[in-house]
């Protein structure tokens, strides 16, 4: 079956521009997560959506970062006024429920490069 | 603060068992032990998870000590395609990844 899909796979933009990254989770998965991975580093948690509950935004690094999840399915991560330190791979994951017994399934990420 | 400690790198001969250790001395009763791996340029791939008991699936075995303060991931017959970064995570829901162990399987 279809896995987690992220688009675009690569994005190059100029410093100061806004970018939107899209995540299509696995159908029926109610939990959705965004992570960031800088070159050679581990994953950094950004935000977590579970059903209709208020999202856990505790990992967002600044107010330039925001995310939405419409209709409990597709999610968009928006970065405003991009900076060079925002360059990283942005990974999305989904799971059937936001409980530890359910493993997360990851997409292959969006590689964001800020010039 | 890191919840897990893993060696930064390990080597393993092809066809031999790879045993990857993880220390998680501050694990709480509700937290599971998860293992993922990440092959270059791909998203992390789920391997196995457990709470208290040892677990086995088609990919690997997970051995958790009785006090739950450490665990070992076992790849019984490592192949070259198992070369990857392996992450051990203790969690209730969100996956806080550390630096992991870079496993290199050598012919």
What is the token pair recorded at B32? 């599971």
pLDDT at B21: 97
Q: Are A107 and A7 in contact (CB under 8 A)?
A: no
Nearest to B87, CA basis, from B103, B99, B79: B99
Give Cβ neighbours of residue B72 (< 8 Å, ≥ 6 apart).
B19, B20, B21, B22, B62, B63
Residues B60-74: pLDDT tens digits?
999 999 999 999 999
| Average pLDDT across chain B, whole number | 92
Chain B contact probe: residue of A99, A103, A109 with most B CBs at under 10 A = A103
Strands in B101-106's sheet, in edge-to-edge order, are: B9-13, B101-106, B84-91, B32-38, B45-50
Q: What residue of B is the nearest CA neighbor of A37?
A: B97
What is the token pair recorded at B60? 């690997």
Nearest to B33, CA basis, from B17, B18, B48: B48
Nearest to B70, CA basis, from B85, B83, B47, B54: B54
Q: Are A112 and A34 in contact (CB under 8 A)?
A: no
Do B95 and A48 lie within an 8 Å CB cutoff?
no
Q: How many CB pairs under 8 A join A and B?
A: 56
Could you tell me the pLDDT band of residue A27, with boundaries at 50, 70 and 90? very high
Does B94 touch chain A if contact means CB atoms closer than 8 Å?
yes
Q: Are B19 and B103 in contact (CB under 8 A)?
A: no
Does B29 touch chain A if contact means CB atoms closer than 8 Å?
no
pLDDT (tens, 9 = 90+) of chain B, 107 residues, equals 558 999 999 999 999 999 999 999 999 888 899 999 999 878 999 999 999 999 999 999 999 999 999 999 999 999 999 999 999 999 876 677 788 999 999 99
Q: What residue of B is the nearest CA neighbor of A96?
A: B93
Residue A100 pLDDT > 60, yes or no?
Answer: no
pLDDT at A1: 55
Chain A residue numbers with beta carbons less than 8 Å from the beta carbon of B96 are: 43, 45
């Amino acid at each position: 079956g279809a896995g987690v899909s992220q688009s675009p796979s690569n994005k190059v933009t100029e410093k100061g521009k806004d970018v939107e990254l899209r995540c299509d989770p696995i159908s029926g998965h109610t939990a959705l997560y965004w992570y960031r991975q800088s070159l050679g580093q581990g994953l950094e948690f950004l935000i977590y959506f579970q059903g209709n509950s208020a999202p856990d935004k505790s990992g967002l690094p600044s107010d330039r970062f925001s995310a939405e999840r419409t209709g409990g399915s597709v999610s968009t991560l928006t970065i405003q006024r991009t900076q060079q330190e925002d360059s990283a791979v942005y990974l999305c994951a989904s799971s059937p429920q936001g409980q530890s017994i359910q493993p997360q399934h990851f997409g292959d990420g969006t590689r964001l490069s800020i010039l | 603060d890191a919840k897990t400690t893993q060696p930064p790198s390990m080597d393993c001969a092809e066809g031999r068992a790879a045993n990857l250790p993880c220390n998680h001395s501050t694990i709480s009763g509700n937290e599971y032990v998860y293992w993922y791996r990440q092959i270059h340029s791909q998203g992390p791939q789920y391997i196995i998870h457990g709470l208290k008991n040892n677990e086995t699936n088609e990919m690997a075995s997970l051995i958790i000590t009785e006090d739950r303060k450490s665990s070992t991931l076992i790849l019984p017959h490592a192949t070259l395609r198992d070369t990857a970064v392996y992450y051990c995570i203790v969690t209730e829901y969100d996956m806080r990844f550390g630096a992991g162990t870079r496993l290199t399987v050598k012919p």
